[in-house]
A = this chain, B = another copy of it.
Amino acid sequence: MDHTIVTTEIDLDDTPVVTVDLDIMERNIRRFQAVCAEAGVKLRPHIKTHKIPAIAHKQLEAGAAGIACQKLGEAEVMQAAGIEDITLTYNVVGKAKLERLVRLAGRCDLKVVCDNRAVADGLSVAFQEAGTRLKVLVECDTGAGRNGAQSPLDAAELAAYVAGKPGLSFAGLMTYPITAHTAGFFAEAYKELDRRGLKAQIVSTGGTPALGLLRDVPGVTEHRAGTYVFNDRKCVESGVATWDDCAMRIRSTVVSRPAKNRAIIDAGSKTLSSDLLALDGHGRIVEYPGAKIAKLNEEHGVVLLEDGAPAPEVGEVVTIIPNHTCVVTNLHDRLVGVRGGKVETVWDVAARGLVR
């Protein structure tokens, strides 16, 4: 199944335009798949990075075991595009979403996370009424300080609670990302589960930068990663990719050179997002690596140029590697797939904006 639109009508100089180098993307997909295979874990790509069914299918064809989605709307789009194995790594709360979740679970092999009893109660009522059973992973906070059960004991007790609930079955443990505490947390959680006669069939870790830590965590069965498919400035700064591994590039035009050391580009926060991720500046300009995208307004990028270095003129198109690909994708209705600098594919970002 291929949802791509083939076109030659895209003008890559009509900027800003978000491009994906297909050779790089395909290499990223193969490479990450190989690393996971070597580590003996399944890869479950997180589609929040691209939100495009055709790319998810490429990941599955390369050997991925299924996909992860962050919101129900993403999962619905991916299921409708023929994807059969989906894990929704988000607490589902509220009547409207529970009804949708029941329908979705009837159409694919669905797993959902849960980190508290109120969420488990809601899932249980919905699936008991539907007369079916939902596989539930217990989300664990193994050091990130976001959500998840706060201790191995809490995780095991929630697992037992889930296992005892009508309409639910306990399927395993999930965490994001891998930290220095993850291995210890899980080792202890396995013991607590064992004491309750339970076993985590699935142990799911996540994060592109965390790949190097995967071997340190005992019992992991699958790893979820999103950004690896495109890579970005954060990945390079984290040491898990090189600039040459960055498939997503935003083409942007210099629209003003108001001062000697300042250029204004047509990519602002509505194109690049304002995510800094603790980096200095808002992206890397490939042709002028010493320049700094110092500030973003909505449609303006303010670039500080290096003293004495070559500088772009008004009308010049530059290429930006963004700080964070996942949020760039979500700003744009389409991404343009290029190969050897030529347009090969235009994808609709089918799950763009689906925050529900």
Which residue of B is nearest A226, CB measured? B298
Interface band, chain A: 35 or more
Q: Report how far A149 CA is from B355 CA in the complex, Å.
A: 41
Quote the shortest CB–CB distance from A299 to chain B (angstroms).
5
A118 in contact (CB, < 8 A): yes
Which residue of B is nearest A356, CB measured? B14
Interface of A is mostly: loop
A119 in contact (CB, < 8 A): yes
What is the total number of copies of this protein in its complex?
Answer: 2
Do B314 and A15 have beta carbons less than 8 Å apart?
A: no
Tell me which of B13, B71, B150, B330 contacts A96 (CB under 8 A).
B13
Do B315 and A258 have beta carbons less than 8 Å apart?
A: no
Residues of B within 8 A of A15 (CB): 94, 356
Tell me which of B91, B93, B94, B326 contacts A298 (CB under 8 A).
B326
Do B96 and A14 have beta carbons less than 8 Å apart?
A: yes
Q: Report how far A298 CA is from B259 CA in the complex, Å.
A: 36
Residues of B within 8 A of A315 (CB): 93-94, 118, 122
A192 in contact (CB, < 8 A): no
Residues of B within 8 A of A17 (CB): 356
Residues of B within 8 A of A147 (CB): 255-256, 258, 264, 300
The 3 closest A-B pairs by CB, nearest first: A118-B314, A147-B256, A14-B96
Residues on A lying within 8 angstroms of B by beta carbon are 11, 13-17, 48, 70-71, 90-91, 93-97, 115-116, 118-119, 122, 141, 145-150, 253-259, 262, 264, 266-271, 273-276, 297-300, 302, 313-315, 326-327, 330-333, 353, 355-356
- A-B contact list, 21 entries, CB within 8 Å: A13-B94, A14-B94, A14-B96, A14-B97, A14-B356, A91-B256, A93-B266, A93-B315, A118-B313, A119-B314, A122-B315, A146-B258, A146-B302, A148-B256, A269-B327, A270-B327, A270-B353, A274-B274, A298-B330, A299-B355, A331-B331
